[in-house]
Structure 1
Amino acid sequence: MDARFLGIDELVEVPSVAVVVDVMRAFTVAAWAFAQGAEKIVLAESLDEALALKARHPDWVALKDGPAAPGFDAVNSPGLLQSVDLGGRTVVQKTTAGTVGALAVREASLVLCAGFVVAEATARLLRERECDSVTFVVTGEGGRADEDLACAQYIARRAAGDVTDAAGFLRRGAESRAAAELTEGVRQGVHPDDVALCLELDRFPFAVVAALEDSLMVLRPRAVPSLTDEASI
């Protein structure tokens, strides 16, 4: 598999297949939202658009980076979200990097949004689709966030069928600038467990697929057969 690793600003053409990686915390949060029962996640281009969507759909759950703010129901923290019942709800998500990266490749034929918590399911879906060329969008720090790059590189190796020890990749995530900022309280809207939750490898058995639906970029979970299931087929 031909894998490219690019920052958002380095995208000069629409890739055929894109995996958008935001470990800390957008797509860890997205996975948790689905685990908490959310039906779908709508990505907003701006805070104003998120609030406008919420105004049109009062039953939707609006979520943003940083501290709590009027009009928003939740913040971009897996630790805070894991106690929220989202059964059957639609979530509107706007973050600094992850949602921006996914919207930048909205025209791709296949868009997956990933973090360590859905790494194996993401790799398995790429293998299932027999993707020969994949662009990994490293969203954090202008494409230099080591937790995102480590996760992207790990998924790429697993998608290629390599037997890969995840320990070194997870260590890079734990030692990243983002992890330090979350631990030290530099970023707001944080739960003490956020870093640990972001580094839980393969917590969920689904991939997160993004696609345009009526002009909106929408995320939905996609169940992927486990290795045990594959072996029994």
Structure 2
Amino acid sequence: MKARFFSIEELVEAPSVAVVVDVMRAFTVAAWAFAQGAQKIVLAESLDEALALKDRHPDWVALKDGPPASGFDALNSPGLLQTVDLGGRTVVQKTTAGTVGALAVKEASLVLCASFVVAEATARLLRLRECDSVTFVVTGEGGQADEDLACAQYIARRATEARTDADEFLRRAAESRAAAELAEGVRQGVHPDDVALCLELDRFSFAVVAAMEDSLMVLRSCAVPSLTGDAPI
């Protein structure tokens, strides 16, 4: 498998297969939303679109980055979301980087939204689909976010090598600027456990797949079967 790593800004054409990585925190939050029972997640291009979708579907849960705001029900924080019952609900998500990156590759034949909590399932799905070339979209900090790059590199390695030690990749993420900003309260809408939750390797056994449905980019959880020859991490 040939792996390429791009920022959102470097994407000039839709790849065939894309893995969009946002560790802190969009796609960690998306995984937690599914774990809390969400049926699907709709990605909004703007806060106004998120509110418009919420207005048309009052039972949907609108989620955003930063501090609480009128019309939004939840924040982009795994720590805050882990106590929310989302059983059967649709979540509308708008974040600074992750949702932007996924929407940028919406024309790809396969789009996976990834973070460390679904890393193994994501790598396993790439192996299952026998993907020859995969574009990893590093969403944070204009493609320079080391937590996202480390996760992307780990998934790429795990998709091609049976045994890969995650420690160095997790260390880089833990020492990233995003981790420091979350820990120090620089960012708003943060729970004290957010960094630790974002670094829980393979917390969930499903992958997160994005696809267009009725003109909307929709995320769904995807169970991934074990493959013959899989080795433990």
1:103 equivalent to 2:106? Answer no
Alignment pair present for 1:184 and 2:184: yes
Distance 1:123 1:97 in 2: 22
**What SS does structure 2 have at the residue aligned with 1:10?**
coil
Hey, what does 1:29 align to over in structure 2? 29
Which residue type is aligned with residue 139 of structure 1? T
Q: In structure 1, what is the Cα distance between the partners aligned to 2:176 and 2:130? A: 32
- Tell me: CA distance 1:149–1:87, structure 2 relative to 1, closer, same or farther (3 Å): same
CA distance in 1, matches of 2:12, 2:229: 39
2:127 is paired with a residue of what secondary structure?
helix
Say if 2:92 is the partner of 1:92: yes
- Report the AA paired with residue 135 of structure 1: T
Task: Give 2:195's aligned residue.
Answer: 195
- Indicate conservation of the 8 Å contact 2:209/2:221, yes or no: yes
1:224 equivalent in structure 2? 224
Separation in 1, partners of 2:226, 2:170: 21
Q: What letter is aligned with 1:175? A: E
Counterparts of 1:52 and 1:61, CA distance in 2: 12
What is the identity, as a one-letter code, of the residue corresponding to 1:69?
A
Matching residue's letter, 1:184: E
Once the two structures are superposed, residues 107-149 of structure 1 have per-residue CA deviations (whole angstroms, 9 ceiling, x without a partner) of 0000000000000000000000000100000000000000000
- SS class of match (2:19): strand
Give me the whole-angstrom Cα distance separating, in 2, the residues matched to 1:58 and 1:142.
Answer: 34
Residue 5 of structure 1: aligned partner = 5
Aligned residues: 231
Unaligned runs of at least 5 residues, structure 1? none
Q: Structure 2 stretches of 5 or more lacking a match?
A: none
Tell me which residue corresponds to 2:67.
67
**What's the CA shift string for 1:179-202, capped at 9, x where partnerless?**
000000000000000000000000
Matched position secondary structure for 1:11? coil
Q: In the alignment, does 2:175 pair up with 1:152?
A: no
Partner letter of residue 141 of structure 1? Answer: E
Distance verdict in 2 for CA 1:157–1:207, change over 3 Å = same
What is the one-letter code of the residue matched to 2:82?
A: Q
- Alpha-carbon deviation of 1:226? 3.4
Aligned-partner SS, 2:13: coil
Partner of 1:47: 47
CA displacement, residues 164-215 of structure 1 (integer Å, 9 cap, x when unaligned)? 1000000000000000000000000000000000000000000000000000
Aligned AA for 1:89? Answer: R
Partners of 2:36 and 2:77 in 1: CA distance: 13
- TM-score, structure 1 normalization: 0.97
How far off its partner does 1:8 sit? 0.1
Please state how far the C-alpha of 1:161 moved relative to its aligned partner: 2.6
Distance 1:106 1:228 in 2: 31
Q: Which range moves more in the overlay, 158-167 or 191-200?
A: 158-167
TM-aligned CA deviation for residue 227 of structure 1: 5.6
The percentage of aligned residue pairs carrying the same residue is 87
Shift of 1:12: 0.7
Deviation at 1:230, TM superposition (A): 6.8
How far has the Cα of 1:225 moved from its partner? Answer: 1.5
Q: CA RMSD in A?
A: 1.3
